Amino acid sequence: MKMQKKRYVLKFPPQSGDQPFSYHLVKDFDIRINILRAEVWPGKTGSLVLELEGTTTNLKNGIAYLKANQVSCEPLNKKITWDHIRCISCGNCTAVCFAGALQMDPEKWELQFDPEKCIVCELCVPACPLNLFKIDFRE
Amino acid sequence: MSIQKTYEEINEKIRRGEAVVLTAEEVSQMALTATPEEIAEKVDVVTTATFGAMCSSGAIVNFGHANPPIRMEKIRLNGVPAYEGLAAVDTYIGATACDPENPKYGGAHVIQDLVDGKDVELEAWGKGTDCYPRKHIKTIINKETVNEMILFNPRNAYQNYPVAVNSTSQMKYTYMGNLLPNMRNATYSTSGELSPLLNDPEMKTIGIGTRIFLGGTQGFVVWPGTQFNTSKPKNEYGVPVGNSATLAVMGNLKEMSSEFLQAAYYEKYGVSLFVGIGIPIPVLNADIAKNVSIRNEQIETTVCDYGVEGAPALGRVTYAELRSGEIEVQGKKIRTAPVSSLSKARKIAEILKQSILAGEFEISKPVQMFPTNTSLKSLKER
């Protein structure tokens, strides 16, 4: 079976903070999870950035399980927008992106963004002198 | 016989469409297999460029007189303070000016809005005089309504610039970008072998009156820039290893484009303006050909610790090392990132090259050369 690896942003409704979703993803759907970022406030909302690895079927079923439990699950790249039309490729964002998601193309010296490497640290948002990054991690 | 060309001979070739023009990067490649003499024989003009944040920038604007007229003694443009001490309706809006209540929108943003043809709110106050009775005006201006708008930047196009690192345990917010703690990143600013003053380190062809590409149109070098310093140490290739010479430049802001003039805000620092500058260097002789052939591995700059007062020097690196993505400073490997746009600088060098080839841009002999023995004073408090 072909394995897939992809990053997602999960958002939890207030009532779900006490449920062991990660356990079920691993145990019931054989999905390897890597927690890249977590913000959990008991009684309020919570957010998780996860890298999920599993077979196509298991990933699909795991995500369906989350959604059935009111946990939203969206691919990470939909949560980050970068206005590349206005980008001047100055490189300021690459200075703070220690995850290596934002890098300069070594030939053209234009900014390249690889959402699969992003860990949503959000350091690029204030680092951009043109304010071109928008991240919708919370609500 | 050594080659010696004149500005006029090169301009004749430009007019006839016979001039050979290369960008500074192209000529550096050519120099790998050609001697300076051969380059001087074959190449007439080399184009250089930079696109970086240059804080010492601003614009002169004349609003025209209202009826009844006002002597503007306090001026705000979209809420940003502009200089009020220039007659009745002239002002200078500095790129870094801002209202402390709204620090993310400053003079550079006003300049960009004017360039883009957007409406800008002008509010001004005066005490009222016999000839200027009015005490207040609040109206809308844009680039069509004002008489003149002239970009006048007292200090641009630094000849080389230090690399910034931060040795402290706290993030430092600077005009060189956000510096991670414990020297986890290093930022650098010039366009290296494409940078104007690095290709003419002794300024043999660049001086007062040099016609340049400025913000998308033709402008001029009008004076040595402020903090012009010729006494910085030089490396074996004659290149100063830190920030040294600078240019004061001027041009018609109405003709410029925000593609080459871009407002910026740096977190916890303030507002600045990215300025696109391109300078043609006439290859008059083999000496100049040798200078424009310089490559990134021959250009060095100083690594400075921006986390510590006085930004002490920690070492020296080349632009080839900086562009490789990693430098070594005091035995520590540090990831590098640019903070000025090389892709935009390349675009400017190419546009300048094409306009010279098309006969639309002629080179100009400086009316006066720059001083050669200047140093920098610090502010002594007394």
Q: Which of A92, A96, A126 sits opposite B180 (nearest CB)?
A: A96
Q: Do B180 and A88 touch (CB under 8 A)?
A: no
| One domain, residues B254 and B303 | yes
Predicted pLDDT at A75: 87
Which domains can be identified in chain A, with CATH numbers?
3-77 (3.30.70.260), 80-135 (3.30.70.20)
Q: Rounded mean pLDDT of chain B?
A: 97
Residue B382: inside a domain, yes or no? Answer: no
| DSSP structural state of residue B44 | -
Evaluate if residue A139 carries a pLDDT over 80. Answer: no
Residue A90: list chain B partners with CB under 8 A: 52-53, 274, 338-341
Q: Do A130 and B262 touch (CB under 8 A)?
A: yes
| One domain, residues B314 and B211 | yes
| One domain, residues B185 and B127 | no
Evaluate if residue A56 carries a pLDDT over 90. Answer: yes
Average pLDDT over residues A21-32: 93
Contact (CB, 8 A) for A101 and A113: yes
Distance CA B337, CA B334 (A): 10
Q: Which of B24, B92, B96 is nearest to B53 (CA)?
A: B96
| One domain, residues B250 and B351 | yes
Distance CA B98, CA B81 (A): 6
Residue B326: list chain A partners with CB under 8 A: none
| One domain, residues B134 and B172 | no
Residue of B nearest to A108 (CA): B343
Could you read off the pLDDT of A120-133 as tens digits, one per residue?
888 999 999 999 99
Structural domain boundaries, residue B97: 64-146
| One domain, residues B128 and B40 | no
Q: Do B178 and A108 touch (CB under 8 A)?
A: no
| DSSP structural state of residue B29 | H
Q: Do A98 and B184 touch (CB under 8 A)?
A: yes
Evaluate if residue B125 carries a pLDDT over 60. Answer: yes
Burial B23-54 (b: 16+ CB within 10 A, else e): bbbbbbebbeebebeebbbebbbbbbbbbbbb
Evaluate if residue A16 carries a pLDDT over 80. Answer: no
* E strand or H helix at A82: strand A80-82
Q: Do B338 and A104 touch (CB under 8 A)?
A: yes
Could you read off the pLDDT of B324-364 as tens digits, one per residue?
999 999 999 999 999 999 999 999 999 999 999 999 999 99
Residue B254: inside a domain, yes or no? Answer: yes
| One domain, residues B108 and B257 | no
Residue B55: active-site member: no
B280 HSE (CA, 13 A, CB side): 36
Give Cβ neighbours of residue B377 (< 8 Å, ≥ 6 apart): none
The whole-angstrom distance between A120's CA and the closest CA on chain B is 17
| One domain, residues B254 and B111 | no
- Residue that is last in its domain, among B114, B146, B178: B146
With the C-alpha atoms ordered B302, B306, B308, B311, is the resulting torsion angle positive or negative?
positive
Q: Do A92 and B178 touch (CB under 8 A)?
A: yes
Chosen for mutation from B116, B176, B184, B341 (greatest number of chain A CBs closer than 10 Å) is B341
So what's the ipTM on this one?
A: 0.94
Residue B54: list chain A partners with CB under 8 A: none
Predicted pLDDT at A19: 79
Predicted pLDDT at A37: 85
Asked if A104 has any chain B CB less than 8 Å from its own CB, the reply is yes
| One domain, residues B79 and B141 | yes
Predicted pLDDT at B168: 97
- The pair of structure tokens assigned to A127 is 């680092």
Contact (CB, 8 A) for B114 and B103: no
**Model pTM?**
0.93
* E strand or H helix at B348: helix B342-357
The residue among B116 and B2 whose pLDDT is bigger is B116
Predicted pLDDT at B162: 97
* Structure confidence at residue A119 as a pLDDT band (50, 70, 90): confident
Predicted pLDDT at B270: 97
Residue B377: inside a domain, yes or no? Answer: no
Predicted pLDDT at B172: 97
* Structure confidence at residue A42 as a pLDDT band (50, 70, 90): confident
Average pLDDT over residues B227-243: 95
Predicted pLDDT at A81: 84
Contact (CB, 8 A) for B207 and B337: no
| One domain, residues B125 and B204 | no
Residue B70: inside a domain, yes or no? Answer: yes
Predicted pLDDT at A137: 64
Could you read off the pLDDT of B178-192 as tens digits, one per residue?
999 999 999 999 999
Contacts made by residues B352-356, CB under 8 angstroms, sequence distance 24+: B352/B47, B352/B49, B352/B213, B352/B278, B352/B279, B352/B280, B353/B21, B353/B22, B353/B23, B353/B45, B353/B47, B355/B213, B356/B14, B356/B19, B356/B21, B356/B45, B356/B47, B356/B280
Residue B32: inside a domain, yes or no? Answer: yes
Distance CA B215, CA B262 (A): 9
- Residue that is last in its domain, among B146, B170, B197: B146
Residue A123: list chain B partners with CB under 8 A: 178
Predicted pLDDT at A121: 86
* Structure confidence at residue A17 as a pLDDT band (50, 70, 90): low
Distance CA B10, CA B284 (A): 9
User: For chain A, what percent of residues have pLDDT higher than 70?
Assistant: 96
Contact (CB, 8 A) for B339 and A128: no
- The pair of structure tokens assigned to B269 is 């620092």
Q: Which of B189, B190, B324 is nearest to B266 (CA)?
A: B189
| One domain, residues B24 and B96 | no
Q: Which of B272, B211, B273 is nearest to B247 (CA)?
A: B211
Residue B2: inside a domain, yes or no? Answer: no
Average pLDDT over residues A7-11: 89
Distance CA B120, CA B139 (A): 9
Contact (CB, 8 A) for A57 and A4: no
Q: Which of A64, A36, A47, A38 is nearest to A11 (CA)?
A: A47
Please tell me the total count of domains within chain B. Answer: 2
Residues of B with CB under 8 A from a CB of A: 51-53, 104, 177-180, 184-185, 187, 262-267, 272, 274, 323, 325, 335, 337-344, 346
Least confident of A56-60, B7-11, B69-73: A56-60
The residue among B273 and A136 whose pLDDT is bigger is B273
Residue B373: inside a domain, yes or no? Answer: no
| One domain, residues B196 and B284 | yes
Could you read off the pLDDT of B163-222 as tens digits, one per residue?
999 999 999 999 999 999 999 999 999 999 999 999 999 999 999 999 999 999 999 999
The whole-angstrom distance between B108's CA and the closest CA on chain A is 12
Asked if A94 has any chain B CB less than 8 Å from its own CB, the reply is yes
Residue B33: inside a domain, yes or no? Answer: yes
- Residue that is last in its domain, among B126, B146, B166: B146
Residue B221 DSSP SS3: strand
Q: Do A96 and B53 touch (CB under 8 A)?
A: no
Could you read off the pLDDT of A64-107 as tens digits, one per residue?
999 999 898 988 877 788 999 999 999 999 999 999 999 999 99
